[in-house]
Amino acid sequence: AKALGKNQFRIFDPKLAERQELRIRLQTELDIALKEEQFEVYYQPKICLNSNTLLEAEALVRWKHPLRGLISPLEFIPLAEETGQIHELGAYVFRSTCQFINELNTTLDKPVRIAVNVSVKQLLKESITQDFFDIIDTVGIKPNQIELELTESAVMENIVEARKAISAFQNRGINIALDDFGTGYSSLSYLAKLTINTLKIDREFIKDIPESEESKAICRSIISLAHSLGKSVVAEGIETEEQLAFLKQLNCDIAQGYYFAKPMNKEDYINFCKTQKTE
Ligand code: C2E
Ligand code: CA
Ligand code: CA
Ligand code: CA
């Protein structure tokens, strides 16, 4: 440590320095990964609780790093948002998903729908709606086969711009879900004015069910709020039979989680679809 004065030292934190170095390296490696398509999109089923059938899937991106192995999106999405690389990555995920939908259209006898996560940086880009419509048209799927998941806090902090993009998407038949619901601080009047189709309860409020009375109360209120506003509700992160039973009892519409299936690669998702009856 370097002496700053009597009894004052700047502490060298190797962990922090390592982290910053890793960050810079990851940014360079993200560029390479984008060029070399080291990403793969996984798909996790969402189950309709009313009919007990497969409703749709959520697309979740994975980075298959040639040396580091599988890197979690929690690690590289925030970085890609900061550096602006999220636009290229987001377009890649969206295009891959549309192409997979197209493949499923010819493989399965029922049309499918897949939800794609869109970060606020993407949503605020002026051309985002046209960019996505172009991909949908080029690949040749129907817009209503796509759903978008936008995080609650991101939408509420950018309400004016978000509303514009949301209605443009909805006018083409694309459903919009508010992700991580309950973790942001939604004003109820904003929520009522938003034309969002679906609220997605964050896993934070699912994981401690049935022990936590607080979590159960929050789930109860979100579901009743959603239903009184005419929106459907998804519960994410369902891992146990008890959690499922609790949400069913509250008339939650849709459920997703390891209890049903983990996110899967394309091949496994196709096989999963084939074992399921759809509506
Ligand atoms: P999210 O949108 O809230 O997605 C749910 C996360 O919970 C996923 O983690 C999923 O694999 C995980 N999960 C699902 N069911 C269970 C369960 O029963 N138990 C537990 N413990 N976890 C469960 P994942 O795939 O690591 O993604 C993390 C986050 O990264 C996502 O959170 C999303 O915010 C972001 N993300 C992933 N893919 C994309 C993408 O293509 N674009 C953007 N913008 N963000 C993405
Ligand atoms: Ca999501
Ligand atoms: Ca979440
Ligand atoms: Ca999220």
Q: What is the pLDDT of residues 62-71, one digit of tens each?
A: 999 999 899 9
pLDDT of res. 5: 57
Using alpha carbons, select from 23, 43, 21, 39 the residue that is nearest to residue 265: 43
User: Which atom of ligand 1 approaches the CA of 258 most closely?
Assistant: 18
**Ligand 1 mean position, distance from CA 9 (Å):** 41
Scan for tokens 């902090």, then name that residue. Answer: 157
Residue 160 structure tokens: 């004016």
Contacts of 11 (CB under 8 A, 6+ apart): 1
The burial class, CB within 10 Å (0-12 / 13-18 / 19+), for 9 is exposed
207: Cβ below 6 Å to ligand 1?
no
**Pair type for strands 198-201 and 232-235:** parallel
pLDDT of res. 109: 86
Residue nearest to atom 16 of ligand 1 (CA): 237
Tens of pLDDT, residues 90-104 = 999 999 999 999 999
Q: What are the φ and ψ backbone dihedral angles of 24, each rounded to 5 degrees?
A: -65, -40
Residue 205 structure tokens: 């409020």
Confidence of residue 184 (pLDDT cuts 50, 70, 90): confident
User: What Å distances lie between residue 224 and 30, 161, 199, CA to CA?
Assistant: 42, 28, 11
What interface predicted TM-score (ipTM) does this complex get? 0.97
pLDDT of residue 3 exceeding 90, the answer is no
119: Cβ below 6 Å to ligand 1?
yes
**Ligand 2 mean position, distance from CA 119 (Å):** 10
221: Cβ below 6 Å to ligand 1?
no
**Ligand 2 mean position, distance from CA 2 (Å):** 46
Greatest alpha-carbon span in the chain: 77
Confidence of residue 258 (pLDDT cuts 50, 70, 90): very high
**Both ends of the chain: CA-CA distance in Å?**
66
257: Cβ below 6 Å to ligand 1?
yes
Residue nearest to atom 12 of ligand 1 (CA): 237
Q: State the DSSP string of 39-104.
A: EEEEEEEEEETTTTEEEEEEEEEEEEETTTEEE-HHHHHHHHHHHTTHHHHHHHHHHHHHHHHHHH
pLDDT of residue 133 exceeding 90, the answer is yes
